[in-house]
Chain A
Amino acid sequence: MGIRVVIFAVSLLPLGLESRPISYSGGSTLMLFSDDIKNSLYYHYSPTHQYSVGIEAVEDKYQREKYAYLRFTYLLNRKNSQHSQRNLYFQTGLSPNRDANLFYGIHGDWETRRWFAGFNVKKIETKASMYVDQCYQIGLAPYLGEYGAIHSWLMVKTRKFSYEEGWSTYPVLKFFKGDTLVEFGYDKHNHWNAHLMYRF
């Protein structure tokens, strides 16, 4: 696979591993993502804490086109304990203005105040190809901030597309305060990327 195909495939994808893909009942979340390949604006609404529906508008910088995904996320399982939370989600998205562009998969995470581990396995079907995107992420909070403080996470993400040989592993920094979250990552394909999330 050449770099053109890789770039094209990556440009089709929604974000690899989102924090909190479902909000509280009646809550909404707005996400902005930008890297060398695409800009994305994703809004989702959660009628209950068990699922969210949303729309993602994508500006594909490489293909120079714009399209949208209709997205649905469902909480399959959640385990709350005194010091941790574990989640398992089903995610799917369909692009109505692109022929047979569909993705579906499983997203899971486990989190304490200090540690985070998550994964996302997703199958993407387009008119031209079908492949699997795997993403795994671990994180450490270097300090435990109180409610209302600035919180920071140091993370490592590794990702593989089924049509490629190796894994792409790269660092991610995440910060949040109040209802705002920002995340910065760097990988060899897309270089710097930025992710802004606001929950309201």
Chain B
Amino acid sequence: MIRIIVILLFSMTNVWADGKEQKNEMPHTGHSFDTLVDGEKLEVDPDRLGAFLQGLSDSQIAVISVQGMVCDFCARGIEKMFKLDPKVKKIDIDLSKGKVLVAYSDEDSIDFNDIKQKILSNGQNATHLKILRI
């Protein structure tokens, strides 16, 4: 029985890997979003991410780690910069975790250098990117 459960778990999930730019499939909706299948922490507020995913489908979520994003007032510029990009469907800021969540259409390519430039235009630094597919 245990072997069957293990096989099922491996067949349902993808392994998340370390790296500056990663692509992963999201666990299907209804599951917790804070811990990945291999135990790695996503480091995004699960409630905030859950709310962000509401109404989204066939999308990619860029989870961007940002340094220097210490206040709401100064993070507003990040939101404004991304909203100028017609590819961006939705954006949210997780101040407590230092993350920016950006939803793109499934067909669009996500350019980390472009993201870094947008963040830098507001005076902060983007350090890591993870891409989730829903």
**A residues engaging B (CB < 8 A)?**
19-20, 22-27, 48-49, 75, 78-85, 111-113, 144-149, 151, 176-179, 181, 199
Which A residue sits closest to B117, measured CB to CB? A25
B84 to chain A: closest CB distance in Å? 9
Main secondary structure of the interface of B (DSSP, over half): mixed
Let me know if A111 and B121 touch, CB within 8 A.
Answer: no
Let me know if B123 and A24 touch, CB within 8 A.
Answer: yes
Cα separation A24 to B76 with both chains bound (whole Å): 9
Let me know if B67 and A176 touch, CB within 8 A.
Answer: no
Please, could you name 23 A-B residue pairs with CB atoms under 8 Å apart, sorted by A? A23-B77, A24-B81, A25-B81, A25-B121, A27-B77, A49-B120, A49-B123, A75-B123, A78-B123, A79-B68, A80-B123, A82-B98, A111-B70, A111-B71, A113-B95, A146-B96, A147-B72, A147-B75, A147-B92, A151-B73, A177-B72, A181-B73, A199-B77
**Beyond A24-B123, A144-B96, is A81–B67 a contact (Cβ under 8 Å)?**
yes
Q: Across the interface, which residues of A come within 8 angstroms of B105, CB to CB?
A: none
Q: Which of A27, A48, A80 contacts B80 (CB 8 A)?
A: A27
Let me know if A84 and B121 touch, CB within 8 A.
Answer: no
Q: Mark B41-79, 1 if CB is under 8 A from A, else 0.
A: 000000010000000000000000001111111111110
Q: Across the interface, which residues of A come within 8 angstroms of B73, CB to CB?
A: 19-20, 151, 176, 179, 181, 199
**Beyond A147-B94, A199-B76, is A22–B123 a contact (Cβ under 8 Å)?**
yes
Q: Across the interface, which residues of B come within 8 angstroms of A20, CB to CB?
A: 73-74
Q: Across the interface, which residues of B come within 8 angstroms of A83, CB to CB?
A: 70, 98
* B93 located at the interface, meaning its Cβ lies under 8 Å from any Cβ of chain A in the complex: yes
Cα separation A85 to B94 with both chains bound (whole Å): 16
Cα separation A151 to B73 with both chains bound (whole Å): 9
Q: Across the interface, which residues of A come within 8 angstroms of B72, CB to CB?
A: 145, 147-149, 151, 176-178
A-B contacts counted at CB < 8 A amount to 81
Which B residue sits closest to A146, measured CB to CB? B95
6 shortest interchain CB distances as A-B pairs: A80-B68, A24-B77, A25-B121, A24-B122, A80-B67, A85-B68
Question: Considering only CB atoms and an 8 Å cut-off, how many residues of chain B contact the other chain?
Answer: 27
Let me know if B94 and A78 touch, CB within 8 A.
Answer: no
The residue in A23, A80, A83, A111 that gathers the most chain B C-beta atoms within 10 A of its C-beta is: A80
Which B residue sits closest to A113, measured CB to CB? B70
Q: Across the interface, which residues of B come within 8 angstroms of A82, CB to CB?
A: 67, 98
Let me know if A25 and B96 touch, CB within 8 A.
Answer: no
Cα separation A111 to B120 with both chains bound (whole Å): 18
Cα separation A178 to B71 with both chains bound (whole Å): 11
